[in-house]
A and B are shown apart, each in its own frame.
Chain A
Amino acid sequence: MTPATVFTALLSLFGYSDNRGFLCLLVINQSVASFNSVYICMDDDASIPWTKQPDVFKELKGRDGKFKEFLTRDVEALLSLYEAAHLRVRGEDVLDELVAFTTAQLESALPDLGDALAGKVRHALNQPIRTGLTRVEARSYISLFEPKGHDETLLLDFAKLDFNLLQKLHQKELSEITRFFCYPTIY
């Protein structure tokens, strides 16, 4: 499984996106791996907040100030990059541009895609994971996700288990809250 797939799968299927920097790192490392330029090391820089390292994203651009061409080669990776770029915070101008860039690239790639991938891309363009309701997005991604190989099938099984277990917990909580408002005197 490639890091990009892991990123999309973890973010989309489970929605646990607390570690923003780590997720960006996974995708960007994946993207620049072909250039042999892993330019940031987690261990060295773990103490520095991700937001204090705006320059790392500049690696995505060439000398001419345009985004590097290889980023657009793989639509799955492009989609991961698009979702990752939405995790931006104020002041990360490169990521603002990256959102615009990946959006345009995905839109232009859309007509040539197969049904399954086109479905994912269309959904992502309409509703990035970052701005959606996490569990609603997770549920829709479970239907869109097509496992390739044993690892991803296992991941999908875990995602389904996770969704169902948490949904059960939510239902239990809701029943307790409803009971609280129906029979407040027993509390």
Chain B
Amino acid sequence: MQRKLSFARDRVVEGYFWIMGVYFEPQYELGRKMLTKVGVMVSLIDDTYDAYGTLEELALFTDAIEKFDFVHLEIIH
């Protein structure tokens, strides 16, 4: 991730620690994993806006996110 997206924060461990403060109990493994991944994704997109894309690129990016549909998931698979 850091090789391809060097502009983004590399804060996976911190993110995990944060979520661990929310759910620490052993049975919430899935919740911790998913929330950590979501947190990393969100910070990745945030950094794309703040520190990477130009205005034109970001307008396209926003467009792509807004158009996102589960139909596209089928195509990717």
Contacts and interface: CB of A to CB of B under 8 A. Distances in A.
B9 interface: no
A181 B12 contact: yes
Interface stretch (A68-76, A120-128, A170-178): A170-178
B24 A173 contact: no
Given A169-B29, A177-B33, A177-B37, A135 B12 contact: no
Given A135-B20, A170-B20, A182-B1, A177 B26 contact: no
Q: Tell me whether chain B's interface is mostly helix, strand or loop, or mixed.
A: helix
B41 to A, nearest CB: 10
A133 interface: yes
Contacts of B24: 15, 134-135, 166, 170
Interface residues of A, number: 18
A176 B33 contact: yes
Contacts of B12: 174, 177-178, 181
A168 to B, nearest CB: 10
A180 interface: yes
A133 to B, nearest CB: 4
A80 to B, nearest CB: 22
B26 A169 contact: yes
Interface of A: 15-16, 133-136, 166, 169-170, 173-174, 176-178, 180-182, 184
10 contacts: A133-B20, A134-B24, A166-B26, A173-B16, A174-B12, A176-B33, A177-B16, A177-B36, A180-B37, A181-B12
